[in-house]
Structures are given as structure tokens and as C-alpha cells.
């Protein structure tokens, strides 16, 4: 077992760390971690990333990237995630990063030219539209209620989506719609590439959420007699759930990498504070209760990296990855929350103020236990698979 990275990866991670420290963290501080309206800030950061040679670590070289596999992405994405704006700057932020991976694997050549190329180069943004208001698709995608029916040589999409990250300002959306069967059926979904300027697409509102760093926010989107051609089908009709799996495992794992960077930043801030803060005639760092919190966060950071790498290895080698990606997503999302919460506690009043970045990091990482499948859904799936294995072994 070789746990070292290729020299080029180590060098890219170091350059990404320097870029984030010198360019991205000051930009984040200027905006208090909240994504501004419009895209100018994003394009400026991405232009700086291109100039620094750190843009698109996961992108193929033909799109100006570094072509890193999942294992080699882990340290680079962690460095990018050290700032809330870092993944946006290097073009590995959700939802674009997951959509890039999906398009690269599933799209036909014309779709790659029209959507993948501009997205990879940072010329546009995108969104992935699956989640719906209850009783529609959420933790259970089989509840999918948005429909697409044959109409005039193409398809007509009707339905509502909710919590669609990045929808405001996106150039296109990948829309999951039911093309056969009924809500509750295991199959029958199709993915469609829908231009945001389609007259049948309407952003109804921004949903106010505790996290604020996502470009384009989290939106409710209505599809009202939204007509698209056959060429808009991504993958194949009625096979959307299967093709979506191409995106879900890697996207969950790269989420873990990015938020691990934010947790490490919070931890480093807290340790630095504990070393310099005097309390009860000694340093805070020398008090047992503070030491336990610091040690527990060190353990959580190490465990997160190990679980991420196992999931990445499975994904890179084509090994079964449903368990390893669910385990990583569940553990890392909860461990990141613990690390950031301990960091806030160590720093006391400063921890909940804007004088340190901890409060903004705290509000950003808490939703990760819900996004990309809540912890409870992953535990349910893991338990079901374990029970099936035990039953099959009898």
C-alpha cells in the first residue's frame, strides 16, 4: 500500500494552497463568505486561478485542466476547500464539478461541445435539478413527480424543483423528469439538458438558507410546458436513475474533500488561538479539556482522509463503491461538523463573531449532513445492504 501522491500532485496541492492564501482568502473576507450577486467575482477568481496554473485540477488537459483521478484530487480539493470560495475559483465547486464529471462520461459529442466545453472553461455555470417539494423526489428519488412527455418531435417538461443550487445565473440545468411509470417506481426517469433561457423555465424564488457561499443560491424552479428536442436527452430515455449514479458517488466524495479543507482551516484557527490565549495562569492549549478537543479533531481529520481515500480508490479502480462513498459521506459530514463546532467552542466569544472565520464556516458545513443524501438515508442504505449480504451468506 503506497499512500504517497505523485510529485506533480503534491506540487499542485502546494501551489493551490499558496493561491488560496494569497488570492482567495482575501476575497472571501471582503464578502464575509457570502457569494455576491452576479458572476464577475467568480470570473475574476477563475482568471487568477488560470494565471496561477491551478485551474481545473480534475479537468482533462484538452479543457485546460490537470486530469487528476479521484485519489489524486483529494489533497488538491482539500487545499481548494480551505476557503469557502476556493472551489469556485479553481472550478471544482458543486454543482458544476459533479455536472462536469457526468457530462464527460455520458454526454454525446454535440452535447460535450455545447455544454461541457464552456462549463469546463469557466465560461458558464450549471445546475442539477432533481429535488422537488414534498411529496416529490428528495431523499427518495423514486418519488420523482416532474414529468416529461412526448410532444411535437421532442419532449414537454412540467413540474417544480426545490433547493436547486446555482440555478440563478446558470446557463443550463440537468433536469431529472419522469418519462414512464409513476412516482414511487424504481425506474422511468430521464435526464434532460435544458437551457436556462428556455421560456418554459422560471426561477420562482431564492430559498433563504443558513449557507451563503454557493454561487446562484438555492432556488425553486418551475418547468411549465418546457419544450426541448430529442437532442436534449442526456444518456438515454428512461435510464436517468442509472446514469445519475455516474455523478452521485464521485460528487459525494469530492464534497467530502472540499469540506475537509474548511474543517482543517477551522481547526488551525482554534489551535493557534489556544496556543496564544492565557487562561487560569496557563495557556489554553495546556488545559486538559482544550487538549481533548484538539486531539479529537486531529483524530477526526485523519479518519476523514482515510475514508475519503478508500472511496476514491474504489471509484478509480471501478470496484463497488456504494458502501465506501456512503460511509465517507456520512462520517465526513458529521466529523467536519464536530471539528468546526469544537473550534468555535475553543475560541469562545471570538468563535461566534465575524472577527474569525469560524462562524461563517459553521453555517456552511452544517447543511452538508443533509445535502447529497442526509446521514439517515445513507445509514438506511448501508444497513439494507449489510442485511442482504448476511441473508445471502446463510
Tell me which fold the domain 246-392 belongs to: Butyryl-CoA Dehydrogenase, subunit A; domain 3 (1.20.140)
Cβ(42)–Cβ(76) under 8 Å?
Answer: no
Q: What single string gives the DSSP state of each residue in 335-348? A: HHHHHHHHHHHHHH
The whole-number pLDDT of residue 394 equals 67
pLDDT band at 125 (very low <50, low <70, confident <90, very high): very high
Mean pLDDT of 140-153: 95
Confidence of residue 154 (pLDDT cuts 50, 70, 90): very high
234 and 111 Cβ atoms separated by less than 8 Å: yes
pLDDT digits (tens, 9 = 90+) for 218-269: 999 999 999 999 999 999 999 999 999 999 999 999 999 999 999 999 999 9
First and final C-alpha spacing in the chain:
33
Closest to 255 (Cα-Cα) out of 115, 379, 80, 89 = 80
Cα 141 to Cα 124: distance, rounded to the nearest angstrom = 27
* Residue 187 phi, psi dihedral angles, 5° rounding: -120, -160
Say if pTM beats, i.e. exceeds, 0.85.
yes
pLDDT of residue 186: 87
Class of domain 126-240: mainly beta
Which CATH superfamily, name and number, covers 7-120? Acyl-CoA dehydrogenase/oxidase, N-terminal domain (1.10.540.10)
Q: What is the pLDDT of residue 280?
A: 67
State yes or no: pLDDT of 279 exceeds 90.
no
Span 291-342, pLDDT tens digits: 999 999 999 999 999 999 999 999 999 999 999 999 999 999 999 999 999 9
pLDDT bucket at 282, cuts 50 / 70 / 90 = confident
Q: What percent of the chain has pLDDT over 90?
A: 94
pLDDT, position 393: 80
Domain map of the chain by residue range? 7-120, 126-240, 246-392
Q: What is the pLDDT of residue 264?
A: 98
Amino acid at each position: 500500500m503506497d499512500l504517497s501522491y505523485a510529485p506533480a500532485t503534491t506540487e499542485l496541492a502546494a501551489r493551490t494552497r499558496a493561491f488560496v492564501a494569497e488570492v482567495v482568502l482575501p476575497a472571501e473576507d471582503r464578502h464575509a463568505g457570502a457569494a455576491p450577486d452576479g458572476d464577475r467575482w467568480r470570473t475574476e477568481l477563475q482568471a487568477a486561478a488560470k494565471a496561477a496554473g491551478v485551474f481545473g485540477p480534475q479537468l482533462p488537459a484538452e479543457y485546460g485542466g490537470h486530469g487528476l483521478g479521484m485519489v489524486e484530487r483529494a489533497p488538491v480539493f482539500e487545499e481548494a476547500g480551505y476557503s469557502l470560495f476556493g472551489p469556485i475559483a479553481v472550478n471544482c465547486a458543486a454543482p458544476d464539478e459533479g455536472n462536469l464529471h457526468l457530462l464527460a462520461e455520458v454526454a454525446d459529442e454535440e452535447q460535450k461541445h455545447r455544454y461541457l466545453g464552456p462549463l469546463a472553461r469557466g465560461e458558464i455555470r450549471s445546475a442539477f435539478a432533481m429535488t422537488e417539494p414534498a411529496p416529490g423526489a428528495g431523499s427518495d428519488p423514486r418519488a420523482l413527480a416532474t414529468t416529461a412527455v412526448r410532444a411535437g418531435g421532442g419532449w414537454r417538461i412540467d413540474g417544480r424543483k426545490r433547493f436547486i443550487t446555482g440555478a440563478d445565473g446558470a446557463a443550463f440545468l440537468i433536469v431529472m423528469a419522469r418519462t414512464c411509470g409513476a412516482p414511487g417506481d424504481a425506474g422511468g426517469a430521464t435526464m434532460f439538458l435544458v437551457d436556462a433561457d428556455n421560456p418554459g423555465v422560471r426561477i420562482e424564488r431564492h430559498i433563504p438558507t443558513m449557507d451563503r457561499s454557493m454561487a446562484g443560491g438555492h432556488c425553486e424552479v418551475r418547468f411549465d410546458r418546457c419544450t426541448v428536442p430529442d437532442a436534449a436527452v442526456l444518456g438515454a430515455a428512461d435510464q436517468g436513475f442509472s446514469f445519475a449514479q455516474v455523478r452521485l458517488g464521485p460528487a459525494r466524495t469530492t464534497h467530502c474533500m472540499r469540506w475537509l479543507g474548511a474543517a482543517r482551516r477551522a481547526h488551525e484557527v482554534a489551535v493557534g488561538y489556544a496556543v496564544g490565549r492565557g487562561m487560569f495562569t496557563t495557556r489554553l492549549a495546556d488545559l486538559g479539556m482544550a487538549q481533548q478537543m484538539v486531539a479529537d479533531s486531529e483524530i477526526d481529520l485523519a479518519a476523514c482522509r482515510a475514508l475519503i481515500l478508500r472511496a476514491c480508490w474504489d471509484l478509480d479502480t471501478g470496484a463497488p463503491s456504494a458502501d465506501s462513498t456512503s460511509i465517507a459521506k456520512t462520517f465526513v459530514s458529521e466529523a467536519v461538523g464536530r471539528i468546526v463546532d469544537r473550534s468555535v467552542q475553543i475560541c469562545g466569544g471570538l468563535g461566534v463573531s465575524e472577527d474569525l472565520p469560524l462562524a461563517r464556516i459553521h453555517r456552511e458545513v452544517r447543511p452538508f449532513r443533509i445535502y447529497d443524501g442526509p446521514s439517515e438515508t445513507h445509514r438506511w442504505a448501508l444497513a439494507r445492504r449489510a442485511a442482504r449480504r448476511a441473508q445471502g451468506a446463510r
